[in-house]
Chain A
Amino acid sequence: MKGRRLYLDGVSVVFDGFRALNNLALVVEPGEMRAVIGPNGAGKTTMMDVITGKTRPTSGIVTFGELDLTRMDEASIANLGIGRKFQKPTVFDALTVFENLELALKAPRGPVACLRWHLAGAGRTRIEEVTTEIGLTDRAHDLAGILSHGQKQWLEIGMMLMQDPDLMLVDEPVAGMTDAETEHTAKLLARIAGRHSVVVVEHDLDFVRALGCKVTVLHEGTLLSEGSIDHVQNDPRVVEVYLGR
């Protein structure tokens, strides 16, 4: 199995005295799929910010294989093979769907390489595959700015797939999607897992159940429970803070 192990231990993030993450520990093995659930404000997005270099932890260890992610910037972390779908989809509105995907396609990232870039057969085929996968084939040459919210979600997922990362961090992928789309997304993620490690943050418990993977429950920035969906759903602490409300 290629890929590296994601390891977080004792991670705390403090914003103006407020502990968004508090002594958090998490291990994701290569090729593993993991669901992370927890009430709003539990720190799920902040955890992804820490892994992708957007936020520096106040204390704690964050490594990917041997590499210390707390010392790297966003671009280097992305180039290591960590891709992210943001909770609030941000695509490039002034570019077409196709161009958004082309920008994300794994390729040399420097200015000169981009100037000399020519989209060859393999890259084009990959873009076509992903465009089909995310159901945007007939919107391929439309500007991303005119897509609906759900379509932007799909495009973001597509952009993450284009990067072909070893680890995918997927923040609330099915918000704003119909039931059919939600099901399609669950299947898509299940297909991806195995080749890549995937961490999915989601509120929708049916969706998490459909993923059929190990579940981590966060609460107030710390790990509350971990195990199968049935295990955590029956964990009294989880019932108290989250499911039982």
Chain B
Amino acid sequence: MSATTLDTPAPSRIRLGLRAVMGVVVVVLATFPLLNMLPQDSVFHVSDFLVSVSGKWICYAILALSLDLAWGYAGILSLGHGAFFALGGYAMGMHLMRLIGPRGVYGHPVLPDFMVFLGYQQLPWYWLGFDHFAFAMLMVLLVPGMLALVLGWLCFRSRITGVYLSIITQAMTYALMLAFFRNDMGFGGNNGFTDFKELLGMPLNTGAARASLFYASLVSLVGCYLFCLWMTGTKYGRVLTAIRDAENRVRFLGYDTTSHKLFAFVASAMMAGLAGALYVPQVGIINPGEFSPGNSIEAVIWVAVGGRGTLVGAVIGAFSVNGLKTWLTSAAPDLWLFVLGGLFVAVTLFLPKGLVGLLKGRAK
């Protein structure tokens, strides 16, 4: 029997179009810190505010990408991804606190102000090592990754899926919020960490530091996007999609779906941790509020609005919803929560594939 050759088709025009959109978004963002240096009266001048706020959005976009990997591809609807983001942020915050050194209000050579205030005699053991940048960066990835590993292992092997899994992830972030509010945890209680001075020898309150952090975030976004693009393009990515749509059927093909989901969940949590770590030095503070369940739900809405299951959709969703939020919270602050809720309902009912689905519909 002679078999015909089945060549792999080239990526569709829609896919190429979406990648082009991503490229344009990145290039436009990359000009922001440069245009910020133009004179104020130039039409191309980008304000300090826009640079700093878009730096935050880039971190949100990384969080959205990570959530999309878990939800859009592997079908794990996490309502607790904000916790991974916050843990990455706290790990970075601990590094920044250690770098303050004797410049704190109490002038203690080692202990951060809140520890002096609470009467600590020495640094708790889990703060050791955080004075090294490399160690702190490792923890930015490992702490969220380990939490995802343990939680995921417990849930996936017991075949907890769907709504139950979502509720557990939501409970996780809520529990962490309550824990981090406690002073005796050693993470600064409800005040969290702030008054950061420097990072990698760079004073944080300068334009150069802001631009550096902005570019570090942008490079991370591109890196995470390319990583996800590669991952979802492999057979592993197709196994994830298959698990999302019919997990039981995948088991009967001999795939241990627990390990596949775990792998994606851990990678996703690490990405979220990285996003949090980039976020904290830009906003200058991290406190337990970052664990609030609402944050995780907002992240789900970004992905839903942009279009889950497409990487570009997650990024577009993060930028557009946060753009709307920034505008609305100054124009009509009371309205925001209603708009957010309405947006979610509207997207679920009328735009199940999100903004990207709209673009795809146009292209056809």
Contact = CB atoms under 8 A, between A and B. Distances in A.
A90 interface: yes
Given A110-B259, A117-B235, A73 B3 contact: no
B9 A141 contact: yes
Contact of A74 (B1, B9, B242, B251): B251
A115 B234 contact: yes
B248 to A, nearest CB: 7
A111 interface: yes
Interface residues of A, number: 42
A128 interface: yes
Interface range for B: 20 to 34
Chain A interface helix/strand/loop/mixed? helix
Contacts of B235: 102-103, 114-115, 117, 119
B3 A95 contact: no
A34 to B, nearest CB: 20
Contacts of B9: 141
Interface string A95-135: 10011001110000111101111010000110111011100
B263 interface: yes
A163 B5 contact: no
Contacts of A133: 1
B194 interface: no
Contact of B256 (A54, A75, A124, A141): A75
A95 B115 CA distance: 55
B43 interface: no
Contacts of B120: none
Given A111-B236, A115-B231, A141-B6, A92 B254 contact: no
A52 interface: yes
Contact of A132 (B3, B239, B253, B257): B3
Contacts of B253: 78, 103-104, 159, 163
B158 interface: no
A98 B236 CA distance: 15
Interface in B246-297: 246, 248-257, 259-260, 263-264
A99 B245 CA distance: 14
A68 interface: no
Interface in B209-261: 231, 234-236, 238-239, 241-242, 244-246, 248-257, 259-260
State the 10 A-B residue pairs at the shortest beta-carbon distance, nearest first: A78-B254, A128-B3, A114-B236, A74-B251, A111-B263, A117-B235, A79-B254, A115-B236, A92-B242, A114-B235
